[in-house]
Amino acid sequence: MHVLRIFPDCSSSFATRSVLIRKLPRCTNSYLSSGQLVRRYHENATLKDAAAVVVGAGPAGIAVVGNLLEEVKDDGKIVWVDEQFQGGRINKFYREVPGNTAVKLFVDYAEALKPFRHILNTAHKPNAITELEKLPQSGTCSLSYAGDMLNLLTAGLRQHPRIQTVEGKATSAHLDLESKRWTLTTNSQPSSIIAPLVVYCTGAFPSTTPLPSSSPPIIPLDTALTPSILSTTIPRDQPFTIGVIGGSHSAILVLMNLYRLATTSHPLLKIKWFTRHPTLRYAVQKDGYIQYDNTGLKGKAAEFGRTQLDGDVLLTSEAGKFITRIDCSGGKEQEWTLLEKELKDCQGVVQAVGYTPAPVPEVSIGDDKPLVKLEKDARTGAFYVEGEKQKPIGLFGAGIAFPEEVVTPEGEREYAVGMWKFMKYLRKVVPEWVEASKA
């Protein structure tokens, strides 16, 4: 179950809302290149007749918009808000990351919906999808291929007559209980959009945890996942020891990148690997399903883990010449002591300790109870007011921030994260969302 914590400062959101309702002109000052001051007045525009608003244009937002185009009838307009419309984090930060899912699943994602197929059929060839189709379909590929495919779909969707895009940030959402309409506020134009259905696909960013004060500077995980930037961040001609904290997919990819640097351009590089799990977990193909599909290592990370890092393998592997494992399995106190001791002589540290949902636009409901605690049903994707699960409010979430909860055949609960998994899930739930928003 996801809990969405709603803003502590309700007064500011009230103020914003009353301004929006009265549609006060906003005044901004800017300079022309000639240096002449120009005063501009922008009328805050409200878009009143949207069928749905989607916040976020990563893989989840793209899939939600495509599904809504199929499910919302009567030519209802779908408003789509993002600051960049660049395929989300996969395209922005992970283009040099090896994919962990089969190429075929990226193709399946791109071909899953009628509006997507129309975009592919009318796009000039060769294009991102023809490039994907050329690759061995059961193998994996660089995420740059997926990024290009997401860009192709985004560009096509932005041309669709029923889609209106807003380049900006969604800042708040308010539900009017009488009309059952949301007003989504943006920092752009239109500055507010009224619709019965709102979907948050706002993504997640690398988590960080407190480190001892003696720790070296942090090298961001996004940098460590991008070899071309990582190689210029770490000096080549002087000894450099880097700490890597974490034991799951991203941490193994970082270790793989660092090992490659150490064996090529950065011979003076050493790595201290802080992990709570000296042995690794892999996704395993079983009869008709993949065990540890959402938690185990896959693709190149699995291969590197198995051959270079796992348990005793590290003691004799090539990577073991550069990587020293610091066993943090003895509990939090011991882990802190080890971090204090071992990070002292490092010159940089990478934290690969998971991903945190991005802050969502503030939510308020009704005039008498603006501050509400929302929870989310991780099966249906619907948010609801705490304790009122039966009452749909027309607010939903998807993607890495709000994934579907699944139960594995072994009875373990996992979150289903991956582009094809988002698509499969959305095919199932978006018709229910549209139906619920009519009530």
Ligand X SMILES: Cc1cc2nc3c(=O)[nH]c(=O)nc-3n(C[C@H](O)[C@H](O)[C@H](O)COP(=O)(O)OP(=O)(O)OC[C@H]3O[C@@H](n4cnc5c(N)ncnc54)[C@H](O)[C@@H]3O)c2cc1C
Positions touching ligand X (CB under 6 A) are 55-61, 81-84, 88-90, 94, 97, 99-101, 143, 169-170, 201-204, 225, 250, 355, 358, 361, 399-401, 417-419
Report d(CA 361, CA 172) in Å as an integer. Answer: 4
Determine how many CB atoms are found less than 10 A away from the CB of residue 164. Answer: 17
Place of tokens 């059929």: 121
Closest CB 131 distance from ligand X, rounded Å: 16
Taking the least distance from each CB to ligand X, the nearer of 175 and 343 is 175
Nearest to 220 by CA among 235, 204, 201, 207: 207
What order do you get walking across the sheet with 192-195 strand by strand?
46-47, 192-195, 181-186, 170-176, 362-365
258, amino acid identity: L
Provide the minimum distance between the beta carbon of 7 and ligand X in the complex, in angstroms, as a whole number.
13
The smaller minimum CB distance to ligand X, of residues 201 and 297, is found at 201
The one-letter code for the residue type at 381 is G
Give Cβ neighbours of residue 29 (< 8 Å, ≥ 6 apart). Answer: 37, 38, 39, 40
Q: How far is the CB of 335 from ligand X (least distance, A)?
A: 23
The nearest distance, CB 84 to ligand X, in angstroms, is: 6
Nearer to ligand X, 100 or 347 (CB): 100
Least distance between ligand X and beta carbon 14 (Å): 19
Which element (helix H / strand E) includes 323?
strand 323-327
Partnered with residue 142 across adjacent β-strands are: 98
CB nearer to ligand X: pick between 149 and 201: 201
Element (H, E) at 50: strand 50-55
Q: How far is the CB of 176 from ligand X (least distance, A)?
A: 21
Q: Which DSSP string corresponds to 78-111?
A: EEEEESS-S-HHHHHH-TTSBPSS-HHHHHHHHH
Closer to ligand X by Cβ: residue 225 or 339: 225
| Least separation in angstroms between CB 238 and ligand X | 29
Comparison of 394 and 399: residue with beta carbon closer to ligand X:
399
Cβ-based nearer residue to ligand X, 340 or 414: 414
